[in-house]
Structure 1
């Protein structure tokens, strides 16, 4: 019994991380090992995001995204650092600036996001949905 506990400690502690994706409705939560690299956590977050069918569509190329720790400042986290080295569990995943402008032979790259009609009006939609719920009383 003591040996099994030692093996678990060698792997490191497990953390429940919460990753908020810019433009998405809510955070993605999953359990990771504290010794996992930031790049691995970003990959897991993008796969979970796609599996859940969330919008806006993001793609899966890790080079197009950065992970921030809101408490640590405005610097993006290095993909080669361990996720447990920051001492926090809440992160923000953002698309790198200028990724949507990547052009390949005159066409937009296939991994770029798909724009929706009225993509910039989420605040208007949110306010409208609140007004509908309030006025129905």
Structure 2
């Protein structure tokens, strides 16, 4: 009889979640299991390591401070690296590189603070990409 076998208790660690992390420009999402109390920064680190281990393109690098994690169902703001992944109540996330900032020009005037190509949020980039693909066919 299988009734005598009980699942191990999770204890204070909380529930485990299967999440999907989509990397902009990559073929498909990365899926892995995390603890709902895991910090967003640790989830970004795990996603980058999984992405590299699978040999996916484009090559992203491994510095988790260069990336932002978004929850598409929660709006266009990036998640704080110090909040828990379970606080959003979501299972699908989007990983994006942080926009690069340009250096100050020699004459003392500030250059554009964000590269034009990288400005805006991930939704704007995604919509622009769709429009380019549609118009090129």
Q: TM-score, normalised by structure 1?
A: 0.68
User: 5 Å matches for 1:53-92?
Assistant: 53-92=55-94
Offset of residue 13 of structure 1: 0.2
- Give a deviation string over 1:59-108, Cα, whole Å, max 9, x none: 01111100000011111000000000000000000001117x79xxxxxx
Offset at residue 9 of structure 1 (A): 3.3
Residues 2-17 of structure 1 aligned to structure 2 (within 5 Å): 4-5=8-9, 8-17=10-19
Structure 1 unmatched runs, 5+: 103-119, 128-137
The structural deviation recorded for 1:27 is 0.1
Higher RCO, 1 or 2 (CA under 8 Å, sep at least 6)? 1
Give the C-alpha shift of residue 123 in structure 1: 4.4
| Structure 2 unaligned regions, length at least 5 | 104-128
The equivalent position to 2:43 in structure 1, one of 38, 41, 44, is: 41
- Please, what is the CA RMSD of the aligned residues? 2.4
Aligned residues: 104
CA distance in 1, matches of 2:13, 2:100: 38
Counterpart among 6, 18, 21 of residue 20 in structure 2: 18
Where 1:15 maps in the other structure, the secondary structure is: strand
Structure 2: distance between partners of 1:88 and 1:34: 10
Match of 2:97 in 1: 95
Residue pairs, 1:94-113, within 5 angstroms: 94-98=96-100
Please give the secondary structure, in 2, of the residue aligned with 1:43.
helix
